[in-house]
Structure 1
Amino acid sequence: MNATTQPTWRAIDEFAAAIAVAGLGTPDIIADGRIHRFRTDDDKAGSRSGWYLLHLDRHPAGVFGSWKLSFTQTWSAKTEAGTAPLIDFRAMIKTARRQRDAEQQATWTRAAYTAASVWPTCPPAPADHPYLLKKEIGPHVARLASDNRIALPIGDGSALTSLQFIAADGSKRFLTGGRIAGCWCPIEGDGPESPILIGEGFATVATMAEVTGSPGVVAFNAGNLLPVSKTIRRLNPHADIIILGDDDRWTEGNPGRAKARSAALEIGAKVLFPDFADMDLDSKPTDWNDWYRLARAAGRVKV
């Protein structure tokens, strides 16, 4: 290895070491001055929230971080004097964000195209689908995918952005790459001037829409309650809104309860949580569908 190549490899190794020390993992480094995504140590399979950008022009320097953790760190090779020249890291970070946004938009666009192609081919879900029977709810907007999974539309109020698929055993998956944040699935109600219900899961919102006659909005997860609730409030400034919070007592920090309260406070809505006192907790219930099915089994509500 010649004298000019040695510093290049050393810079790459030191940059990779900095990423590892930050606890983000050990990605293979490509020093081409472009943003590269990688899977961090705490990413789920298929996720790549880690990113880096490294260039070796003039003086080796780079930035890296995690989009999921909103974490960014800069790095610059030391000179022989032990110092580093001034680097315009803000410009590098801006470049990384611009590239990330462009890649994300392209991914969303491809997924939206796939969703728009698949959705019309799915017939209405049958009322006797195993998942619907288990949850004791009707199909509503649900359709049936070619593999017999329930398919739910996800949109931003103007266009389809993704799909959620639910298998007979209740396992759920989203269309790869689809935009979920700030998007929802609507469930129609039949009551006049009824409040709008917002909850995490399809079964939760469908249950309460059937019981109350109110229209519902499925946000799909606790973290999406706030962005969805803010949009629904903006579209319905004078409507009564009720957040159907989950009671995630089996999860540290009870995110369902915390996120529901936060969303309700932010938009001036009411929030309701299921009360599982004196109920059978062997199934570890968390949401309003769990509560309703347990209440029906115990004869507390009429069928």
Structure 2
Amino acid sequence: MSQPYVDETARVRAALAVIPADDYGTWVDMAFALKNGLGNAGFEVWDEWSRTAANYNERAARTTWRSAKETGGKTLASLFWLARQHGFDLKRAQYPDQMATALAPRAEVREQRAREEARQRARYAAVAREAQAIWEWARPVGPEHPYLARKQLEPVPTLRELEAPELRALLGYAPASEDVPLTGRVLVVPFWIGEAISTLELIDESGRKSSLAGGLKRGGYWFAGEAPNDAESAAPILIGEGMATVLSAHRATGWVALASLSSGTLPEAAAILRARFAGTELVVLADLGPGESKAREAAQATCAHLALPVFAKEERIDDQVPTDFNDMAVLSGFASVGDRLREIVYRHEEPLAATPTPAADWEMGTVSGEQKEEVMSNVKEKLLTEAQEPTRRRGSKRSGPEQVTPTESSAPLAASGTSEPAAATPADDSPAVPARQFAPPRPPVGEPLFAVTDVPSDIRALAEHRFGSPLRMATPRENGGPYRGEVFNSEHYLIQEVATRSVVFHPKAQMVFVSERLRWMDENARLNGAELQVGYDGDRPKVYPWDRARELLERTVGSLKKSARELNFSPNLEVMLDQLQTRSWARVREARAAALEQSKERAAPQDPPGPDR
């Protein structure tokens, strides 16, 4: 009698069902075994089994599977041998139907995973609140920001800035890029999910980038110009990776432009945008290099145009190969960027970089100088021709409203290659896109919120007992602050020594603590003696962490740098001062840690002895 046929995938699923997925070594071995036996088709089975572990992480699973090799030394025989150790019967001709659902997580695993997801959601919400507070505290970008000036960009309302020391005080830690702290004037770039800020990207003067720790990034976007709404837009919508790229394209076209936080989140952001604007032309702005594959994926998944920048082979920016539309704008002008994007959208052609041409003269996204000039001239001629003969234009591939080339901006483009293109004019019957309302800039400081005599006498007496007498007492002003110094906490007031023998009384009725740690310290009576800074949004106080020693060190080093520049000392001195500041702060932290350990050791002998055994 012939052996009954057994589907190998079903046998693998049944065998995995009896093997616990919680052990890391076993988990990795099974990835190698399934990669060897089933190839990439085995990922679905392995991932389903992996989800039965309490510590499952989707990102870690995908990374581990990609790193697994078919020749890693583990095979399906290894899997079946391990399954037999857990009671699996390999000789059965078929497996009960319940084996198909045996890979469902256990009840305790589901409960633990639900708790972890709840904690993660709470973490995202806390970071979002912190991001909103920092955004409201930040001020509009001032003139000549070094990063924007280098990119030849102008500030927009959706950008703000803070000094790096302010940012450190607000966050309670120094944001860094590859272990290098951000310095100078830091751009604050909000990323939205729906109608709320989810996290912030932080960019310092030299272009180092960071983001808030623990913030939700997937599906988030930053936008330049008017905020998109759910009404269909007559003009195309641009989406790309990075603020500078998107802002350059927005300036060149006037179209609504959105940026994802990274190339990895670009496909998801594009999918969300396509779901909201089913009939609108979408243009995915690709960076040449590693991010190009994600841009292509996003464009293909959303039926969007893929736009690649065009460069001459010999062109460089700071001795680096240019890669994005901001580089193209810096090298060739914003008019060239606008021409390129309009050609891609309104002619419904493949990007020029993908046009078949002799291999000796063309590369992906790269053309020679003469060909580049010819390409851009052809773009202008086509735009002018279409402006004169609009009836010959091909219709949209989708069912959305037909795109019309703006005639007012085409003629100037054809006449002059240096003039900046105007925004595309929407059709008369298209709904207007309302601009998102942002928090206004920080208003001026007003009058005191209340008189000192309104503070209860017992609170004033408590302040004198804590900080000495005679004591100068004051109350906060509307939109005042930041007030910095040591605090003493009471039930209804936070008493803060802002200078020697000078205190300010902060009412706690509407007080907001910007971090969970500060809120916990308040609830558990741990704020006494802490050094904080308090700022006012109208009459509402907001409490932020502050470190007196660090600020004093930074001010001292900053003063020394200023004196060095005035005396024309070598720039190397500033580098040395930065190194000295870093080392000094590390020594302060080491001293604090040592003092804490000594305090614990002194407290240990005073603990009461345990019960007799």
User: How has the CA–CA distance of structure 1 residues 99 and 285 changed in structure 2, closer, same or farther, with 3 Å as cutoff?
Assistant: farther
CA contact 1:122–1:146 (8 Å) conserved in 2: no
* Pairing 1:302–2:418 present: yes
CA contact 1:279–1:294 (8 Å) conserved in 2: no
For 1:289 and 1:133, locate their aligned partners in 2 and report how far apart those are by CA, in whole Å.
Answer: 12
* Pairing 1:146–2:163 present: yes
For 2:127 and 2:53, locate their aligned partners in 1 and report how far apart those are by CA, in whole Å.
Answer: 31
Secondary structure of the structure 2 residue equivalent to 1:225:
helix
Deviation at 1:181, TM superposition (A): 0.3
Alignment of 1:226-241 (within 5 A): 226-241=267-282
* Pairing 1:121–2:137 present: yes
> 262, 265, 276: which one pairs with 2:300?
265
User: How has the CA–CA distance of structure 1 residues 194 and 94 changed in structure 2, closer, same or farther, with 3 Å as cutoff?
Assistant: same
For 2:140 and 2:271, locate their aligned partners in 1 and report how far apart those are by CA, in whole Å.
Answer: 30
For 1:174 and 1:133, locate their aligned partners in 2 and report how far apart those are by CA, in whole Å.
Answer: 22
Alignment of 1:53-72 (within 5 A): 64-70=55-61
User: How has the CA–CA distance of structure 1 residues 63 and 231 changed in structure 2, closer, same or farther, with 3 Å as cutoff?
Assistant: closer
Secondary structure of the structure 1 residue equivalent to 2:255:
coil
* Pairing 1:111–2:111 present: no
For 1:67 and 1:115, locate their aligned partners in 2 and report how far apart those are by CA, in whole Å.
Answer: 26
For 1:89 and 1:266, locate their aligned partners in 2 and report how far apart those are by CA, in whole Å.
Answer: 31
Alignment partner, residue 256 of structure 2: 215
Taking structure 1 as the reference length, what is the TM-score of the superposition? 0.69
Alignment of 1:82-121 (within 5 A): 82-83=85-86, 90-91=105-106, 93-121=109-137
Question: AA paired with 1:90?
Answer: P
Question: AA paired with 1:194?
Answer: A
Alignment of 1:7-18 (within 5 A): 15=23, 18=26
Deviation at 1:219, TM superposition (A): 0.6
User: How has the CA–CA distance of structure 1 residues 189 and 212 changed in structure 2, closer, same or farther, with 3 Å as cutoff?
Assistant: farther
Alignment partner, residue 460 of structure 2: none
User: How has the CA–CA distance of structure 1 residues 93 and 277 changed in structure 2, closer, same or farther, with 3 Å as cutoff?
Assistant: farther
* Pairing 1:131–2:147 present: yes
For 2:114 and 2:86, locate their aligned partners in 1 and report how far apart those are by CA, in whole Å.
Answer: 29
Alignment partner, residue 245 of structure 2: 204
CA contact 1:189–1:213 (8 Å) conserved in 2: no
Deviation at 1:15, TM superposition (A): 4.1
User: How has the CA–CA distance of structure 1 residues 151 and 22 changed in structure 2, closer, same or farther, with 3 Å as cutoff?
Assistant: farther
> 161, 169, 186: which one pairs with 2:206?
169
Q: Structure 1, residues 126-159: CA drift from partner, whole Å, max 9, x if none?
A: 2311010011111111101232200011111211
Question: AA paired with 1:146?
Answer: E
Identity %: 25
> 196, 210, 234: which one pairs with 1:193?
234
Secondary structure of the structure 1 residue equivalent to 2:149:
helix
For 2:30 and 2:248, locate their aligned partners in 1 and report how far apart those are by CA, in whole Å.
Answer: 45
Question: AA paired with 2:123?
Answer: T
CA contact 2:53–2:105 (8 Å) conserved in 1: no
CA contact 1:154–1:164 (8 Å) conserved in 2: yes
For 1:127 and 1:157, locate their aligned partners in 2 and report how far apart those are by CA, in whole Å.
Answer: 30
User: How has the CA–CA distance of structure 1 residues 84 and 246 changed in structure 2, closer, same or farther, with 3 Å as cutoff?
Assistant: same
Alignment partner, residue 45 of structure 1: none
For 2:142 and 2:30, locate their aligned partners in 1 and report how far apart those are by CA, in whole Å.
Answer: 50
Q: Structure 1, residues 201-232: CA drift from partner, whole Å, max 9, x if none?
A: 10000001001111100112111111111111
Instruction: Kindly report the root-mean-square deviation, in angstroms, between the aligned alpha carbons of the 2 structures.
Output: 3.5
Q: Name stretches of at least 5 consecutive residues in structure 2 with no aligned partner.
A: 1-21, 32-49, 66-81, 89-98, 165-184, 228-232, 335-368, 374-416, 420-613
User: How has the CA–CA distance of structure 1 residues 164 and 19 changed in structure 2, closer, same or farther, with 3 Å as cutoff?
Assistant: same
Question: AA paired with 1:156?
Answer: I
User: How has the CA–CA distance of structure 1 residues 210 and 279 changed in structure 2, closer, same or farther, with 3 Å as cutoff?
Assistant: farther
Deviation at 1:90, TM superposition (A): 1.8
Deviation at 1:96, TM superposition (A): 4.8
**Matched pairs, number:** 244
Question: AA paired with 1:176?
Answer: A
Deviation at 1:234, TM superposition (A): 1.8
* Pairing 1:247–2:247 present: no
For 1:260 and 1:68, locate their aligned partners in 2 and report how far apart those are by CA, in whole Å.
Answer: 20
For 1:16 and 1:204, locate their aligned partners in 2 and report how far apart those are by CA, in whole Å.
Answer: 41
Q: Name stretches of at least 5 consecutive residues in structure 1 with no aligned partner.
A: 1-13, 24-51, 54-60, 249-253
User: How has the CA–CA distance of structure 1 residues 104 and 22 changed in structure 2, closer, same or farther, with 3 Å as cutoff?
Assistant: farther
For 1:207 and 1:268, locate their aligned partners in 2 and report how far apart those are by CA, in whole Å.
Answer: 23
Alignment partner, residue 41 of structure 1: none
Alignment partner, residue 266 of structure 2: 225
Alignment partner, residue 156 of structure 1: 193
Question: AA paired with 1:142?
Answer: L
For 2:307 and 2:297, locate their aligned partners in 1 and report how far apart those are by CA, in whole Å.
Answer: 13
Deviation at 1:104, TM superposition (A): 1.7
User: How has the CA–CA distance of structure 1 residues 127 and 109 changed in structure 2, closer, same or farther, with 3 Å as cutoff?
Assistant: same
Secondary structure of the structure 2 residue equivalent to 1:286:
coil
Question: AA paired with 2:259?
Answer: V
